[in-house]
Amino acid sequence: MPMPPPKASTEGPRDRQVFHEMGQIVRALEANGPQDQEALARLVGAPYWESARFDRALALVVADGLVTHSPNGLLHPV
Domain-wise residue ranges, the chain: 16-77
Say whether 75 sits in a helix, a strand or coil: strand
pLDDT in tens, 13-37: 567 889 999 999 999 999 999 999 9
Q: Which residue has the higher pLDDT, 72 or 13?
A: 72
pLDDT in tens, 51-68: 899 999 999 999 999 999
Say whether 8 sits in a helix, a strand or coil: coil
Q: Full-prediction pTM beyond 0.95?
A: no
CATH architecture of the domain formed by 16-77: Orthogonal Bundle (1.10)
H helices of the chain, in order, are 16-32, 37-44, 53-63
Note the pLDDT of residue 13: 56
Q: Is 51 left (phi over 0), alpha (psi -120 to 50) or beta?
A: beta
d(CA 8, CA 21): 21
